[in-house]
Structures are given as structure tokens and as C-alpha cells.
Chain A
Amino acid sequence: MSKISNSIISQMITRFGASSAEFRDETTLIIQPDQIVEGCRYLRDIAGFNMLLDATAVDYCPATTPRFHLIYHFYSTKKNVIIALRIPLNGNEPEVQTIESVYPNANWYEREIWDLMGIHFEGHSDLRRIVLPVDWVGHPLRKDYPLGYEEVQYTFNFDDVNKRKRYPKD
């Protein structure tokens, strides 16, 4: 796999105020949320990253500035390189512009991030939950969302636990 040309990285740094990082031969650019749509448009049209491979988010709870990192991976079919874009997001209810207008397949990725991480995408055409039921409360992949388990029922506390237990009652 070939390397990303330095001119693309330096252009991203001067135009969009990005900073770059290297880890295990992977290049990551960190840009601010207000630059995301323009930055993506530059990557697609001029730098040639024509495919959005993956989009995900990481929760750094209890930190709040930034609490989340939004991570996009772009791939260039012509140059055969991958670049990662990280967008730090502050606060517990972050909002960010959707990149659906640049990469149409961001639609489902962003729905998934909204569903599991609770990051709101402004201007998204169809921001519904995608893998969880429509009436689900909370965003499970956040670090402050409990893993959950079933309380063990013994004979002495069977009725107490039964009251709290979540299953359909008539």
C-alpha cells in the first residue's frame, strides 16, 4: 500500500486547520467539526478519496472536552490509500453536520452512530434508529450506559425482583 502524499496533508492543515498524527503507518487527520463538510468535499474531489469505507465514534466519558471522537475512514480506489479523519465533539449532546451530501453511504453509518452513540447529525435526511427498536431509550455504546444483566431470583427475594424485572406484564 502506497503512502499518502504530503501535499494532501499539508493542504488539509493549511486550509482546514487540521493536525495530523501517525500510528502504526496509519495517517489520521484531526479537524474541527465546523470544517467537516468542506474537508470531506476537498478529500473527495481534489485528493481523490472517492469511497467512504467506515464511520464510527468513540466515547471518552467522563471527559467532556472532547467527549466524543467521530472517526471516518476514506479510501482512494485510484491511489490505494486510506486516510482517517477524526472530529472531536464536546458536550454530552453533540451536534455535527452530516456528510451525506458528499458521501451518500454516510446515511446508514450516521444513523448507526446516532442510534448507538447519540451524536446528532444536522441536515441528515433520515435520522432514525437503525439497529435498535424505535422506542429504545438511551444510546448503548456510550461508556456511561450499563452493560446490563438479569438479577438473580432466589426464593427469599423472588417477588421483590419480579416487580422490577423487565418483561411484558398484562
Chain B
Amino acid sequence: MIKPPDASFDQIKHLVSERALSGETMLLNMGPQHPSTHGVLRLLLELDGEIIINCIPDIGFLHTGIEKNMEAKTYQKAEVMTDRLDYMYTMGNNLVYCLAVEKLTGLDVPERAEYIRVILTELSRLQSHLLWIGTSAMDLAAMSVFLYAMREREMVLDVFELVSGQRMMTTYIRPGGLWRDVPVEFEAATRNILKELPGRIKQYESLLTRNPLFRDRTRGIGIISADNCIRYGVTGPTIRGSGLAYDLRKARPYSAYSCFDFDIPTQKEGDIYARYLVRVEEMRQSLRIIEQALNDLPKGAVRSDNRKFVPPPRSELGVSMEALIHHFKLWTEGFNAPNGSVYVAVESPRGEMGVFLEGDGGPKPYRVHYRTPSFVNLQALPLMARGHFVADLVGIIGSIDIVLGDTDR
């Protein structure tokens, strides 16, 4: 028997079966440099031939200590770190952090900002699902979807670049509103996405949904029941693929989500194919939300005018002494948040992304904790993988759509 290449084998002895110790089953190391683990995930597999008996995820290769770093920065500066968590849902990371800061400080947000936040987070979900459909289809040997999906994803990233100047690390949503109003080209660019994408989604579906090879690789594989989803805290498309319509946009609406009309797609089977169908339908629902939000987009300010928390506009600095003082105080000292803790969550493309924020009355967060969906969902991977072939494991990892930046923080 080959021992795994670290000194800690004695520590993980209790996680594998007795047969592994006698050499009857094989321990195989998968990752962390394996392309189909979508990043740096290491899995220690116990195999009986090709069948997985045990699967022990080993995470932490991308741990960057973001929570510790945020404690050393003011509330505004700490936000920049949140982009780096789930790098496929940057707008949502900003949003959940800002919602927590706003709840802690009791800050109000103008309606226009709420609508733009919804549009941008839904675009974020769209691009995350586009990357997901491409990569997980590629894992199952359907190459062409990836090329198409990346082409469409570029359209969304162009919108992000338009509004924030950055394609991925946007930091566009700020406590109290947005960094600035969207440029005039924004509406046309978003409408273009709304026009193009329904046809393109149909195209992906014609490549995958009835494709017998894809169906053979996905149906009946990686099944998790709704009960187990609840026991393991699994959320997002995985729990909806198992038949439970748990979506935070409906269950605990945040921002302006209660103003829009959309459905929560669910499937009963709980296998990879069910999660695939849920995500494809979610893309359509996202388009629906974006269209409604664009149609009713209110006019007005995009930042709260509470100058104790939100810096004044540039134009006021030259003419108003108070504005200058506020600007100086906010960017040197920051604002003070009260002593207390809040928990706020949003629906990320992977599940419930929550942030626990505790203030101590000073300008820096005392403790920030991210409840990241990938971390929680990955814990249920052994449950889904047991008894399947190694080749199917690749599809199962793809179907829960982990982002390792999200897992390791």
C-alpha cells in the first residue's frame, strides 16, 4: 500500500475502513493539482477497484486569512477583501457584506441603488452559472459548451467593467449604496444580454439536455436526499435539485427582491442531472428579474445622504467645509459601528452565503465571519460520492459547483 505523502496518515486512519490498512482497498490521492477539482481541492479516495468507498476532502490550499485581515481594516477598506472570497460571485460578496454593515449601523439605501444591486448580482449569478455549465460539461467530456459559455460570459464581464472599471474584483457595491451611478451605456449593454441569452441558453440545452452521453453520465449519480441536505446544511441548487424550494430571495428577501416576480425551479431526483436542470432554469429566472428591474429602474441618488457613513460627492468638496471634513474623517478614521452582532445572508449561485459581523463601537469590524456555501456543501460530498465510479466523482464535484476561494477563505 502506498501511504499518502504527508506525515498525518496516523491522524486520518480512523476515516478509512479497516480494509485500507491491510491493503485490500487502495488509497488514492486526487488533487490538489487536478483540473477537474475546479481549483485546489485535494481528495483522498479509498477505492475498491473503481468504486469509491470513502472520500475525504482536504481543503485549505487557498486559505488567505481574509477574516483576520478584515479585522485590521476599517469597514470601507475591509470590503475590498470580500471580492477575493468567491471570485465567481464578487458582486454578491460585496452585497452581503454591505447589507451586514448597513444592518449593524442602521444605514438606509436609496431605491435606485437597491435595483441596480439586484441587476448586478443577478448578472453575477448568470456569469457564474455560465462558467459552471461550461466547465462541468467539459468535465463530462462535452467540450463545445465551454467555448460557447465563455463567449456569453464575456458579455456579462463587459458590463462589470463598464460600471466599475474591473471585470471581476469590482468592489462596486458600497455600504450605503453604490460607488457611483451606472454609466448611460449600461442599459443598452444589459438589454443586449437580455436579447441574446435566451437563444443561447436554448443552444446549450440542445447540446446537453437530451444528449444521451450527458444523460448517462449524470442521471442517478451523486444522489442526495432533501433530508440529508437539511442535516448537512446544504443549500442552493443542490437542495433545490432535491425537491426543497429553499431560496433566500424568496424565504428572506433582501435588497429589492420582494418587488419582482420569479419562480424557484426545483427537481425531485437530487442527482447531477437535477442540479443541471435547476441551474439552467435559474439562468432564465435571472434574466426575468433583470428585465423587470431594468424596466422599473427608479431615478434618483445611488448613495445614502447620511454623511456620517457615506462620503460626500466630489463636487461638494471644493465649496463646502463640512463636506471636506466628512470626506477627511471617513477616509482616515472611518465610521463607528455600534456594539453588537448581526447575521445577514444572500443567495449565491452555490447556496446561502452569510456574513456574521460583530462591531465593538469602533471603526473596524471586531469579527467578520463568512458562512460560505462551498465550504458547507463540500462537507456533503462523501455522502454523494460513495458507491460511485471515480470518473463520476468528477461530475459530482462539478455539480455542487465549488469555488475554492469560497471554501478556504
Whether B1 sits at the interface, judged by CB under 8 Å, is no
Known: A26-B342, A134-B7. A126 touches B14 (CB 8 A): yes
Q: Mark B378-409, 1 if CB is under 8 A from A, else 0.
A: 01100000000000000000000000000011
Q: Tell me, in angstroms, the Cα distance from A141 to B358 when the chains sit together.
A: 14
Contact partners of B8 in chain A: CB under 8 A: 128, 134
- Chain B interface residue count, CB cutoff 8 Å, equals 45
Nearest to B63 among chain A residues (CB) is A131
Q: Tell me, in angstroms, the Cα distance from A133 to B58 when the chains sit together.
A: 10
Whether B249 sits at the interface, judged by CB under 8 Å, is no
A84 adjacent to B358 (CB under 8 Å): no
Nearest to A134 among chain B residues (CB) is B8
B356 adjacent to A71 (CB under 8 Å): yes
B233 adjacent to A73 (CB under 8 Å): no
Whether A16 sits at the interface, judged by CB under 8 Å, is no
Q: Tell me, in angstroms, the Cα distance from A76 to B379 when the chains sit together.
A: 20
A24 adjacent to B104 (CB under 8 Å): yes
Q: Find residues 42-95 in chain B having any chain A CB closer than 8 Å to their own CB.
A: 59-60, 63, 65, 67-69, 72
Whether B232 sits at the interface, judged by CB under 8 Å, is yes
Q: Tell me, in angstroms, the Cα distance from A130 to B246 when the chains sit together.
A: 28
Q: Tell me, in angstroms, the Cα distance from A104 to B229 when the chains sit together.
A: 11
Q: Mark A123-160, 1 if CB is under 8 A from B, else 0.
A: 00110111111110000110001010000000000000
Q: Tell me, in angstroms, the Cα distance from A1 to B104 when the chains sit together.
A: 18
Q: Tell me, in angstroms, the Cα distance from A8 to B7 when the chains sit together.
A: 48
Nearest to B246 among chain A residues (CB) is A77
Q: Tell me, in angstroms, the Cα distance from A133 to B59 when the chains sit together.
A: 10
B213–chain A nearest beta-carbon distance, Å: 34
B379 adjacent to A54 (CB under 8 Å): no
Whether A52 sits at the interface, judged by CB under 8 Å, is yes
Whether A20 sits at the interface, judged by CB under 8 Å, is no
Contact partners of B352 in chain A: CB under 8 A: 53
Whether A56 sits at the interface, judged by CB under 8 Å, is yes
B381–chain A nearest beta-carbon distance, Å: 11
Of B230, B231, B251, B341, which one neighbours A80 at CB under 8 angstroms?
B251
A107 adjacent to B379 (CB under 8 Å): yes
Q: Tell me, in angstroms, the Cα distance from A58 to B367 when the chains sit together.
A: 7
Of B72, B354, B358, which one neighbours A73 at CB under 8 angstroms?
B354
Contact partners of A131 in chain B: CB under 8 A: 59-60, 63, 408-409
A147 adjacent to B104 (CB under 8 Å): no
Whether B340 sits at the interface, judged by CB under 8 Å, is yes
Instruction: With a 10 A CB-CB cut-off, give which of B233, B251, B376, B408 has the most chain A CB atoms.
Output: B233
Whether A167 sits at the interface, judged by CB under 8 Å, is no
A24 adjacent to B252 (CB under 8 Å): no
Whether B319 sits at the interface, judged by CB under 8 Å, is no
Of A53, A105, A147, which one neighbours B72 at CB under 8 angstroms?
A147
Q: Mark A96-112, 1 if CB is under 8 A from B, else 0.
A: 00000001110110001
A24 adjacent to B63 (CB under 8 Å): no
B252 adjacent to A80 (CB under 8 Å): yes
Q: Tell me, in angstroms, the Cα distance from A19 to B229 when the chains sit together.
A: 31
Q: Mark B337-366, 1 if CB is under 8 A from A, else 0.
A: 000111101000000101010100000001
Q: Tell me, in angstroms, the Cα distance from A98 to B250 when the chains sit together.
A: 33
B252 adjacent to A105 (CB under 8 Å): no
B340 adjacent to A58 (CB under 8 Å): no
Known: A53-B233, A58-B366. A128 touches B356 (CB 8 A): no
Known: A56-B356, A77-B244. A26 touches B343 (CB 8 A): yes
Q: Tell me, in angstroms, the Cα distance from A108 to B366 when the chains sit together.
A: 23
Known: A80-B251, A105-B233, A107-B379. A54 touches B369 (CB 8 A): yes
A102–chain B nearest beta-carbon distance, Å: 10
Beyond known contacts A82-B343, A108-B379, A131-B63: 17 more, CB 8 A cutoff: A1-B252, A23-B340, A24-B104, A26-B343, A50-B231, A51-B230, A53-B371, A54-B356, A73-B354, A105-B380, A116-B67, A125-B14, A128-B11, A134-B7, A135-B7, A145-B68, A147-B72
8 tightest A-B CB contacts, nearest first:
A131-B60, A54-B371, A56-B369, A131-B63, A23-B340, A105-B233, A105-B232, A58-B367
